[in-house]
């Protein structure tokens, strides 16, 4: 069960990384004139790093862990 939670955290991290990549691209285009060709590489790098961080760090929860009675 924990492996699925780690993979899910990786997917969430990848989506967050993709959103960050689009933000970086838009800001880069407006300020420094980045060509649109950089988007795929920035997107791949940020989503990949986000996925790896999500899998390695795993899910983070602020809820206390309690066992449910059987």
Higher pLDDT, 45 or 36: 45
In the chain, domain spans:
2-57
* pTM summary value: 0.76
8-36 residue pLDDT tens: 999 999 999 999 999 988 998 999 988 88
CA 35/CA 25 separation, integer angstroms: 9
CA 10/CA 57 separation, integer angstroms: 9
Cα–Cα distances in angstroms (integers) from residue 68 to residues 61, 65, in the given order = 17, 10
């Amino acid at each position: 069960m924990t492996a699925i939670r780690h993979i899910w955290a990786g997917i969430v991290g990848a989506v967050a990384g993709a959103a960050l990549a689009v933000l970086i691209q838009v800001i880069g285009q407006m300020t420094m004139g980045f060509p649109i060709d950089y988007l795929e590489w920035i997107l791949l790098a940020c989503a990949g790093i986000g996925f790896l961080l999500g899998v390695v760090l795993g899910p983070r929860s602020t809820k206390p862990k309690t066992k449910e009675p059987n």
